[in-house]
Amino acid sequence: MTTSTAPATGSGDARRPMRADARRNYDRLLEAGRVAFAERGGEASMEEIAKHADVGVGTLYRHFPRRIDLVEAVYRSDVDTLVAEADKLVDLEPWSALSGWLQAFIRYAQSKRVFLTELREAFEKNPELALDSRVRIGAAASSVLVRAQQAGAARTDIDAADLMHLIGGMCMARAATLEQNERLLGLVLDGIKIQP
């Protein structure tokens, strides 16, 4: 039977082999949790998440003993996906890579708005989670921005911290919608693009 390594948890548990069927259940629970939290935030129940993942509640609690463990796992997975997006875009021309990654960040940030209360609880439980994620996202932002700057496509009087402060603040506005943030991102990109 195929095994893979269990995902790291916030509790510092050592990684252990995970059977292929257990890994499939874990992945289904993660995706069901992601969808439920994005749609219903704190109102999403563990039972409905298990049902949407097509697993028993016991299986859910075996993987995620507490609700906060699932919240943290969804968050970690989403950060991993966002950071990996910067690497995937390296084959595009630098301006398109920067633009594409910022669009991915806007979608990522929008998906977190619905379950901010749960995320704050996860950050209080594990302060390193927020710090590590911020550092990793900042490094991804820097990689796409610096490439665009080196190609002469983006202004050089802005760094990744400035860019994330601008974009992150915009995304966290209380009444912001995805459509509005996508439109505002266009204005930000116009402001940092070096026109030929």
Q: Is 123 exposed, middle or buried (0-12, 13-18, 19+ CB in 10 A)?
A: middle
Per-residue pLDDT, 16: 67
C-alpha closest to that of 185 among 111, 102, 108: 102
Q: Measured between alpha carbons, how far is 53 from 25 in angstroms, rounded to an integer? A: 8
Q: pTM, whole model, 2 decimals?
A: 0.84
Digitized pLDDT (tens) for each residue of the chain, 196 residues in all: 334 444 544 444 445 677 888 889 999 999 999 999 888 887 889 999 999 999 999 999 999 999 999 999 999 999 999 999 999 998 899 999 999 999 999 999 988 877 777 888 888 888 899 999 999 999 999 999 999 999 999 999 999 999 999 999 898 887 888 999 999 999 999 999 998 7
Q: What is the DSSP string of the chain?
A: --EEEPPP-TT-PPP-EEEHHHHHHHHHHHHHHHHHHHHHGGG--HHHHHHHHTS-HHHHHHH-SSHHHHHHHHHHHHHHHHHHHHHHGGGS-HHHHHHHHHHHHHHHHHHHGGGHHHHHHHHHH-HHHHHHHHHHHHHHHHHHHHHHHHTT-B-SS--HHHHHHHHHHHHT-TT--HHHHHHHHHHHHHHHBPP-
Closest CA to 86 of 111, 73, 103: 103
Which tokens belong to 147?
A: 């490439």
Which pLDDT value is given to residue 12?
A: 41
State the pLDDT at residue 15.
57
pLDDT score of 7: 54
Neighbouring-strand partners of residue 5? 17
Q: Which two tokens stand for residue 185?
A: 């991102």
Q: Which amino acid is at 52?
A: H
Do 141 and 160 form a contact (C-beta atoms < 8 A)? yes
